[in-house]
Structure 1
Amino acid sequence: MPERQPPASPPAPRPLSFLSFDFGARRVGVACGNTLLRSASPLQTVVALGDARFEAIGRLVREWQPDALVVGVPFHPDGAPHDNTQRARRFARQLQGRFRLPVHEVDERYTTTEALAAGAADADAAAAALILDQFLRSLPVGEQDREPRKDERDDDAGTRR
C-alpha cells in the first residue's frame, strides 16, 4: 500500500508591491516598496502639472506594475486638516480613477521635514519612501502579502482607502 502523503500546504502568497506619493502642488515625490522586504526606496520626483503629471506617473505605474498605490495626506500636528489635505485626497481619487488600483491614504505629518533633516538629496522622493514605510509597518505581521481588509487597517497609522 502506498505511503500517505501529508496534505500539501497552500502556496505562499506573492509579495505585494506599492508605489507611494508625497503630493505637492508643484512636485510629487515617488517611492516604491513591497511586502517581502517591508521597506521602501525613493524613486524620483515628478515635476509636472495636470495631464503631464499623470502621464509621468502612468509611465511609473506601467514600469513598476504595483498592486496598490499609497498617498500621503497632510494634517496639522493636532490632527486638523491642512491646506493641502483636500488636494492630496483629490489626487488620491484621481490616481484610483485613472489607474484602477486600490489607493491607500496615510497621514504624512512631518515626512518632508524628516527627509530634509536626514539630508536627503531628493526630499520629496525620500518623503514618499517614509510614507510607504509607515504604510508597510501598519500591515498585520505575517500577513503582509495580501491586500489589507478595510477593518484591519491601523487607524493610528492613518491608513484609509
Structure 2
Amino acid sequence: MRIMGLDYGSKTVGVAVSDALGLTAQGIETIRYEQHKKHELFQRLEALIKQYGVERLVVGLPKNMNGSVGERGRESAAFADQLKKRFGLPVELSDERLTTMAVERMLIDADVSRGKRKKVIDKMAAVLILQNYLDQMRNGVAPQ
C-alpha cells in the first residue's frame, strides 16, 4: 500500500510517497499554490494520488513545543479534513515538530546553497514526516 506524506503550508505543499511495501519515503515535488486557487492544489494532488496508487494520506501536524496545537496546526487539521472529503481516503495527522528545522540543518551540513534549500525544503520535510510515520507503523507504535 502506497502512502503519501504532505507538508502543508500557506503557499506550498511538500509531497512524498512511500514505496509499495511502505518501508521508505521518497520526495516527489513541492506544489506551489495561491489560497484563492486552492482547487489547483487539489487537482495536482489528485493526479499524484492516481499516478502513484496512493491509498492513505499523512499530513504533518505542526504542534507547539509543549504539545499544544496552534493556528498552523488547526489549518493543517482543516486541510486534512478537506482531503478526506475530497478523495475519500484515510487521512492521518502526524506530529511534525522540528522537521523543517531538521531538514534545514541536513541541507546546510550538505553545503546546499540557500537558493537550492528553498526549492527542496518542503519536499524534504514531507519525506521526513512520511518516513517517521512509516517507521512508527513498522515498529508497532501508533503515530501521533
When normalised by structure 2's length, the TM-score is: 0.84
Opposite residue 86 of structure 1, the aligned amino acid is R
Aligned: 1:24 with 2:9: yes
Identity of aligned residues (%): 29
Is the 1:72–1:131 contact (alpha carbons within 8 Å) kept by the matching residues of 2? yes
Conserved 8 A contact 1:22-1:131: yes
CA distance in 2, matches of 1:35, 1:104: 18
- Tell which structure's C-alpha radius of gyration is larger: 1
Q: Does 1:43 align with 2:28?
A: yes
- Equivalenced residues, count: 131
Can you give the 5+ residue segments of structure 1 that lack an aligned partner in the other structure? 1-15, 142-151
Change beyond 3 A, Cα 1:66–1:37: closer
- Going by fraction, where is helix more abundant, 1 or 2? 2
For 1:126 and 1:153, how far apart are their aligned partners in 2? 23
Alignment correspondent of 1:122: 120
1:106 to 91, 94, 99: 94
Q: 5 Å matches for 1:3-152?
A: 16-34=1-19, 36=21, 38-49=23-34, 50-119=38-107, 122-141=120-139
Question: Pairwise CA RMSD of aligned residues?
Answer: 1.6
**Structure 2: any 5+ residue segments left out of the alignment?**
108-116
Structure-2 separation of matches of 1:79 and 1:20 = 21
1:96–1:37 Cα change, 3 Å: closer
